[in-house]
Amino acid sequence: MRVLVIGAGVGGLAIANGLAGNGHDVQVFEHSEALRTTGAGITVWSNGTAALRDLGVDIEASGRHLSSLRSLTETGRLLWEADLGEVTERLGSPTVQIARRALIAEMAAALPSDVLHFGRRCVGVVEHPDRVVVEFDDGTSATGDLLIGADGQRSVVRRELLGGEPAKPTGWASWQGLTRSDLPVAQGHQTLNIAGRNAHCGLIPTGGGMLHWWFDMPWKEGDPVLSVADLREVFRGWPDPVEQLLASVADDDLGFFPHIRHKVPQVWGGARSTLLGDAVHAMPPAVAQAANQTLEDAWLLTQYLSDVDGDLASRLRAYEQERRPRALKVSRTAALTSAQRSTPLQRLAKFPGWLATRSQVASLRSGSNVLRGFASRPAVQVA
């Protein structure tokens, strides 16, 4: 089958690996002139590493294994600590923190050489009973048996296939970066989350002495975009090593993005098309699952397209129906998490380590298809 994929981000590269591995003729079209390798770090949880392993992409050598997830209040009081080593044992796959550019590079390197096409911006989609045609802004087009929209938050493919409203702001934003750091946390394997009354931050070792750090605060269109000097004021007096980190970074290190959330539709495409990743379920970063849910999509769609017998549209709808409830659940949790971190209950409660670990396992399982395995799913009729 000839498969056209729009977007060479995390989702586009993941599905291209899965489908190329199944013997499909996959062509990926990206509007940038090269792979987009900016961004900070990505936490690939057990569900994401399991998906990548099955898709044939190995990130273990390029990232940092995480062994613990620690949550503090802004006064430095420990709220809970989950043992990610035990999460790995229970779920059979590790948690790896990796620079986004390294993840993109690993996935691109695993593809055959003739799959990626740059400088091709999709502007239109026309579905016919026997083929699907994608139009590009340079006047060219491509024809395939199937189209997969992996073109991210402002997906043109979604707009063309489904119409509807663009993703909505949640009222929060992140200031983040990935910098080389001498702080001990950068050399370790522990993620630190600190929840304040009206602001949160996190520090995550990303391997090779690199540290991914983020600061989340309420923000709406028209509000100022804070500088490093502003962040030093807001986070003055926070637990170590927040002040040391902010003293060591500059405005050039700072990336800013408002949080958005997209309604997850019931159906994600037509008879010869579907979506994956942020194009269908853009969500805020609060539970660090956007990329993992995207890898889940790519993994499940690969399973449904592992052979070409049966009706394509039924397979696409089965993939969407199986994936949707889990992606929706994670998206809802992500939307609630920023606000709930600040509630008195969250701030006063202290959970024992075993409970934090078990709830991490339960939450990863509940948002995952890959951790349940494809063979164990209820049989889907492919007419």
Ligand X SMILES: Cc1cc2nc3c(=O)[nH]c(=O)nc-3n(C[C@H](O)[C@H](O)[C@H](O)COP(=O)(O)OP(=O)(O)OC[C@H]3O[C@@H](n4cnc5c(N)ncnc54)[C@H](O)[C@@H]3O)c2cc1C
As a whole number of angstroms, the distance between CA 321 and CA 280 comes to 13
Pick from 269, 325, 272, 278: which is nearest to 298 by CA?
Answer: 278
Cα separation, 197 vs 183, in Å, equals 25
- In the complex, the smallest distance separating the C-beta of residue 157 from ligand X, rounded to whole angstroms, is 7
CB 43 → ligand X: shortest distance, Å?
8
Q: Least CB distance from residue 75 to ligand X, whole Å?
A: 28
Q: Are 71 and 27 in contact (CB under 8 A)?
A: no
**Closer residue to ligand X in complex, CB, 77/180:** 180
Q: Decide whether 32 or 314 has the Cβ nearer to ligand X.
A: 32
Quote the tokens at residue 67: 């062994």
d(CA 185, CA 168): 35
| Strand pairing category for 273-275 and 146-149 | parallel
Q: Which is nearer to ligand X, 107 or 194 (CB)?
A: 107
Burial track 77-108 (b if 16+ CB lie within 10 A, e otherwise)? eebbbbbbbbbbebbebbbbbbbbbbbbbbbb
- Between residues 90 and 272, which has the closer beta carbon with respect to ligand X? 272
d(CA 95, CA 56): 17
Compute the least distance from the CB of residue 284 to ligand X, in Å: 10
CB closer to ligand X, 196 vs 285: 285
Other CB atoms within a 10 A radius of the CB of residue 42 amount to: 28
Residue nearest to ligand X (CB): 9
Q: Do the Cβ atoms of 369 and 327 come closer than 8 Å?
A: no
Question: What distance lies between CA 60 and its chain's CA centroid?
Answer: 17
CB of 359 to ligand X, least distance (A): 22
Tokens, residue 152 = 């991210």
Pick 256 or 354: Cβ nearer ligand X:
256
CB-wise, 9 or 196, nearer to ligand X?
9
**Measured between alpha carbons, how far is 309 from 366 in angstroms, rounded to an integer?**
30
Residue closer to ligand X, measured from CB, 6 or 91 = 6
Residue 137: CB minimum distance to ligand X, A: 8
CB of 44 to ligand X, least distance (A): 10
Q: Minimum distance from CB of 355 to ligand X (Å)? A: 27
Rank residues 205 and 277 by Cβ distance to ligand X and give the closer one.
277
- Cα 250 from Cα 262, distance rounded (Å): 32
Binding site for ligand X (CB under 6 A): 6-12, 29-32, 36, 38-40, 42, 100, 121-122, 150-152, 156, 277-279, 285, 290-291, 294
Residue 353 CB, shortest distance to ligand X, in Å, is 26
Please choose, from the candidates 202, 192, 181, the residue with its C-alpha nearest in 3D space to the C-alpha of residue 285. Answer: 202
Cross-sheet strand order for the sheet of 122-127? 122-127, 132-136, 141-144
In the complex, least distance from residue 352 CB atom to ligand X, rounded to whole angstroms: 29
| Closer Cβ to ligand X, 33 or 130, answer by number | 33
Closest listed residue to residue 319, CA positions, set 304, 309, 308, 307: 304
What is the three-class DSSP state of 291? helix
Q: Can you read off the two tokens belonging to residue 229?
A: 């000097």
- Structure token digits, residue 223: 């509000």
